[in-house]
Structure 1
Amino acid sequence: IEIIDKNPIVGANRDSPLRNKIGINKSFYKSKFESPSNNIGAIIRGYKSSVTKQINQIRKTPGTKIWQRGYYDHIIRNEESLFYIRDYIKNNPMNWNKDRFFQNR
């Protein structure tokens, strides 16, 4: 998980290329999201908790849940996979009304 924290707005940089981490100064990437555990579940819980707190501070809605239950993890191994996932995330809201779980409200 790479967290890009350049301003107070919670988000991620969608246009950065997949980077090879070899030779990068790891102290540069130290973050408040860092987990003392190498367990992916603990890292995801910590990330979601921190992001939830920041979003609720911005919205002034303390204690409000913002995440659906569970998560799907996947290691992005190449630029093609990264492009596919970015495209899915970008276009997913436009495809929501075609989803089998969509209810016209």
Structure 2
Amino acid sequence: MSTIIGSYKSITIRTINEIVGTGHCPVQIGQGNALPLREQKNFAWQPRFYEHIIRDEIELNKIREYIINNPLNWELDIENPERIKS
């Protein structure tokens, strides 16, 4: 699995670097305006990952809920410099 993920990361980072070089590919950041990639910070993959086997529908639904809610929780996250303070 590590070889597959490593290959995927390598291919995508090369492609992104080619696109960044052209400056013609906008990216959406949060709910803001699309900005040219050349104005963005350098793209980097998270250095580590972990595999997880989804064993049943209950676990699958928990993961789906996390995927849906995680971006919504960003507004309250302490790492978000523009967070809504409660």
More strand by share: 2
Q: Which runs of 5+ in 1 are unaligned?
A: 1-39
Aligned partner of 1:52: which letter?
Answer: I
Aligned partner of 1:85: which letter?
Answer: I
Deviation at 1:42, TM superposition (A): 1.7
Q: Does 1:104 align with 2:82?
A: yes
Structure 1 residues 103 and 69, CA gap change in structure 2 (3 angstroms)? farther
From 60, 66, 71, give the equivalent of 2:49.
71
Structure 1 residues 89 and 60, CA gap change in structure 2 (3 angstroms)? same
Aligned partner of 1:77: which letter?
Answer: R
More helix by share: 2
- Please list every run of at least 4 consecutive aligned residues from structure 1 whose deviation after the TM superposition is greater than 6 angstroms: none
Q: Which runs of 5+ in 2 are unaligned?
A: 22-41
Structure 2 CA distance, aligned partners of 1:98 and 1:72? 26
- In structure 1, the partner of 2:20 is 61
Q: Does 1:51 align with 2:1?
A: no
Aligned partner of 1:68: which letter?
Answer: Q
- Structure-1-length-normalised TM-score: 0.45
The within-5 A match list for 1:89-100 is: 89-100=67-78
Deviation at 1:101, TM superposition (A): 2.4
Structure 1 CA distance, aligned partners of 2:13 and 2:65? 24
Deviation at 1:53, TM superposition (A): 3.9
Deviation at 1:45, TM superposition (A): 1.0
Deviation at 1:80, TM superposition (A): 1.5
SS of the equivalent of 1:83 reads helix
